[in-house]
Chains A and B, each alone.
Chain A
């Protein structure tokens, strides 16, 4: 692995890194002024497209391509929504960016708004981030004073207002159309697509939804150039014409049973083991890892043997997981019961399912009921078959639900049962020696309240 110095996190550790003065001293806002001084929106779109930047929010969709879906010559308004509703368990990279270098995010937002011709940007911030709120709001105020926000920025004729909106703490608000509904003041039920937000989004106007980290990357691409960005990461697989490659630095959120948990910046394509053994300082207490979540709980599970999987946009998929997601690596050591892991995961998704689509609403709740029963010592081997069926069907077949939550809820079930079935079977046989073979429906247990 080549030596790599952090770029997105360069302000971390600087006592005044969050201020405008510090950001400008590091070269910030200079690229913005240059672009406002004579470039066209299409130039910025081309730059981001050329960089191969893929959205950092989880789906890994090409950011430049997303911007081109906006209707041409739309009379406006066009809206830009920045998704800071960082609610995937284990993920905290947006928080670091917003707290330690908010101007980087704001510069990226201004550049993106310029590229998409949006004159209003909303930052949808999750409720649990009061410190991020303070830092962002202060930075926005500073940017207004310095003339980077407001009317006719630096004489370019381009105007932009950024509004900070605080969500009410729901996982589903991180889904882009759920976020839009919530921003409109409605219940955050993801919308049916089409129409996609680029055509009809916030307040029925064309809308782009991007992640905070994507904004920071846009700012860095503008400052350091497309070539710099493409020099980092994993190039496109020449044997797979559909692979756009994974370029650029990525913030990995390392947590769980490691010696030094934290948010680390690394080139895309670092393996999970490199991350754990390098910046993470190894699995804690000298133990061995049992499994790791590659990128947020909804991405599934890597076994110890699969830790050499490169964490780029296509790596976890090759190891039977959903994808890179938010790059939140949660390490589980050998003492942890995988039954407990799955129970916790199911409880989370049953609690967070918005309840709109039948398969997800009932499937997440059903899987929790089964896990509750297994945990209570009344599990049956048949439950594993049912769980696996839920894990391989709920949201898995594309189109069976409106949004991806069901898919995300199914992956941990599917991975845990497929990769650790022996442990589940042992657990059930040992805790329910008389009833593990029963196949008829049994009485339901009262579920312990999730909150």
Chain B
């Protein structure tokens, strides 16, 4: 156990001691924040305001502002849950490229312990980073107005951070297998940073895309995790808004907000409930772990 813990600690240190790597792993989240400050917030608010025509007197403007801020927070966490594990797992490629894996392979560490330590370090790193962002985000938003998040949902948010971390790690463990050099994995990271914001619907809600594109985006577990986050963080606030409206619109406003900001995943035109989304993510996780068990012995097999 100590051997495994030692290598996991080393993999964690590699990520956290490299400030540039930490910053770059949060690049998409930073871009989401910058775009939000520049124009995304206004477009979110505009979407909400156009849906609340006739209900202006019933809905607190502050709640609309909080709604937009929470959509931002979900986007930041969702993208961090993709880019952080990827960045952390790039240690596998660096180790292979610099023959550090030779040093590790010549120790009494079992091969499965080596693979599991990369997996664990990435999951832990992503969980720490997303939890920090989640905690800071919730504190900042709560200080600006009530978020109406129940303590159960608060706990659920951290459980989701774990689900997002482990599922993204399992997915990227497979991806990393194909890279031989850090320049190749770095180039892929550039594409991933640019694409992940769109895939999880952080820049533009997925509802604005065609069914085909929505299905493609929903294939990635990170998109499902982001959808679950929207439900967890925003449902309390939307319930409060619905209560304020008092049934005048038959729940039309909240329903339109849930459609606009994508509160449900969709695969091949079929909507997924939050429970189905969790089942889908777990299925992807299991498939990736099985693939990992089949693939990785080849990586650490003596050549």
* A and B interact physically: no
A interface residues, Cβ below 8 angstroms from B? none
B interface residues, Cβ below 8 angstroms from A? none
